[in-house]
Amino acid sequence: MPRNDDLFNDEWQFLLKDIPHFLADDWQAVQLPHDWSIAFPFSSELDGATGYLPGGIGWYKKTFANPITRLHQNAFLIFDGIYNHSQIWLNGTHLHTQHYGYSPFIIDITRHLEEENELLIKVDRTRFVDSRWYTGSGIYRDVHLVMTDQSHIRLWQNKLSTHKITPNYAEIHQDIEIEFSKRHQDKTMRLISKVIESNAAGALSSSRYETKIERVSDKYHLILPIKNPKLWDTDTPFFYTVVSELYIDNVLVDITEERCGVRSIHFDAMKGFFLNNRPMKIQGVCLHHDGGIVGAAVPREVWQRRLAILKCGGVNAIRVAHNPASKVLLDLCDELGLLVQDEFFDEWDYPKDKRNNMGEQHADYYSRGSYEYFQEDAEKDLTNTLLCHHNHPSIFMWSIGNEIEWTYPRNVQATGFFDAKWDGNYFWSLPPNSPSEITQQLKSLPKQRYDIGRTAQKLTQWVKALDPHRPVTANCILPSVSYLSGYSDALDVIGYSYRRVIYDYGHQHYPHLPIIGNENLPQWHEWKAVIERPFIAGLFLWTGINYLGESHNQWPTKITNSGLLDTAGFKKPNYFLFQSLWTETPITKIYTHLASSSDLNIDMVNYLAFEKDPHAWEQRLWSWHDVEQHWNYENDDWIIVEVISNCPSVELWVNEKTYGIRHLTNQNDRIMRWAVPFTAGSIQARGRIDDRSECIDAIATTQQAYSLNITEEVVSDNDEVKQFVISILDKNNAPITHQDTSFILDDMCNLDWIGSDNGNINTATCFNQKKCHTYQGKTLLLMRIKNQNADYSFSILHPHLGRFTYDF
CATH number, residue 642: 2.60.40.10
**Is position 514 within any domain?**
yes
User: What pLDDT score was predicted for residue 421?
Assistant: 74
Residue 362 and residue 473 share a domain: yes
Share of the chain above pLDDT 90, in %: 88
pLDDT band of residue 420 (cuts 50, 70, 90) is low
Neighbours of 277 (CB within 10 A): 11
Give the 3-state secondary structure of residue 189: strand
User: What pLDDT score was predicted for residue 356?
Assistant: 84
Residue 619 and residue 552 share a domain: no
Instruction: Tally the domains of the chain.
Output: 5
**Is position 276 within any domain?**
no
**Is position 349 within any domain?**
yes
Tell me the C-alpha distance between 200 and 607, whole Å. 63
Span 670-676, mean pLDDT? 97
CATH number, residue 564: 3.20.20.80
Residue 391 and residue 347 share a domain: yes
Span 632-647, mean pLDDT? 96
The residue ranking higher by pLDDT, 364 or 466, is 466
Give the 3-state secondary structure of residue 743: strand
Neighbours of 384 (CB within 10 A): 20
Of the three residues 700, 721, 738, the one that is the final residue of a domain is 700
Residue 302 and residue 247 share a domain: no
Residue 684 and residue 758 share a domain: no
Span 730-742, mean pLDDT? 96
Residue 711, pLDDT > 90, answer yes
**Is position 24 within any domain?**
yes
Q: Which of 190-194, 490-494, 572-576, 692-696 has the lowest mean pLDDT?
A: 692-696
Tell me the C-alpha distance between 479 and 519, whole Å. 13
- Identify whether 322 is preceded by a cis peptide bond (ω within 30 of 0): yes
Q: Which of 420-429, 461-470, 481-490, 552-561 has the lowest mean pLDDT?
A: 420-429
**Is position 544 within any domain?**
yes
pLDDT band of residue 263 (cuts 50, 70, 90) is very high
Residue 591, pLDDT > 80, answer yes
Of the three residues 106, 125, 149, the one that is the final residue of a domain is 149
Give the 3-state secondary structure of residue 489: helix
Span 538-566, mean pLDDT? 96
Span 256-264, mean pLDDT? 97
Of 159, 135, 155, 156, the C-alpha closest to 147 is: 155
**Is position 271 within any domain?**
no
Give the 3-state secondary structure of residue 424: coil
User: What pLDDT score was predicted for residue 352?
Assistant: 92
Question: Which domain range does residue 136 map to?
Answer: 4-149
Residue 163, pLDDT > 90, answer yes
Tell me the C-alpha distance between 714 and 698, whole Å. 26
Of 126, 156, 109, the C-alpha closest to 8 is: 109
User: What pLDDT score was predicted for residue 23?
Assistant: 67
Q: Which amino acid is residue 324, in one-letter code?
A: P
**How far from chain centre, in Å, is Cα 55?**
22
Residue 430, pLDDT > 90, answer yes
Residue 531 and residue 407 share a domain: yes
Residue 402 and residue 437 share a domain: yes
Residue 117 and residue 46 share a domain: yes
Span 174-186, mean pLDDT? 94
Residue 101, pLDDT > 80, answer yes
Using alpha carbons, list the distances in angstroms from residue 724 to 566, 670, 741, 794. Answer: 16, 33, 17, 11
Write the pLDDT tens digit of every residue in 283-338.
999 999 999 999 999 999 999 999 999 999 999 999 999 999 999 999 999 999 99
pLDDT band of residue 426 (cuts 50, 70, 90) is confident
Residue 693 and residue 567 share a domain: no
User: What pLDDT score was predicted for residue 535?
Assistant: 98
Residue 573, pLDDT > 80, answer yes
Span 144-152, mean pLDDT? 97
**Is position 18 within any domain?**
yes
**Averaged pLDDT score across all residues of the chain:** 95
The residue ranking higher by pLDDT, 388 or 20, is 388
Beta strands 494-497 and 472-476, pairing class: parallel
User: What pLDDT score was predicted for residue 165?
Assistant: 97
Residue 307 and residue 428 share a domain: yes
Residue 646, pLDDT > 70, answer yes
User: What pLDDT score was predicted for residue 419?
Assistant: 77
CATH number, residue 66: 2.60.120.260
Residue 685, beta-bridge partner list:
652, 697
Q: Which of 152-166, 221-235, 344-358 has the lowest mean pLDDT?
A: 344-358
Query: b/e string for 554-573 if b means 16 or more Cβ within 10 A?
Result: ebbbbbbbbbbbbbbbbbbb
User: What pLDDT score was predicted for residue 201?
Assistant: 65
Residue 684 and residue 755 share a domain: no
**Is position 120 within any domain?**
yes
Residue 214, pLDDT > 90, answer no
Residue 423, pLDDT > 80, answer no
Residue 702, pLDDT > 80, answer yes
Residue 662 and residue 746 share a domain: no
Write the pLDDT tens digit of every residue in 496-550.
999 999 999 999 999 999 999 999 999 999 999 999 999 999 999 999 999 999 9
Tell me the C-alpha distance between 668 and 237, whole Å. 36
Of the three residues 700, 718, 752, the one that is the final residue of a domain is 700
pLDDT band of residue 424 (cuts 50, 70, 90) is confident
pTM, rounded to two decimals:
0.96
Span 220-243, mean pLDDT? 96
Q: What is the CA radius of gyration of the chain?
A: 28
Phi, psi of 275 (to 5 degrees): -115, 120
Tell me the C-alpha distance between 475 and 456, whole Å. 12
Angle among Cα 428, 347, 158 to the nearest 5 degrees reads: 115
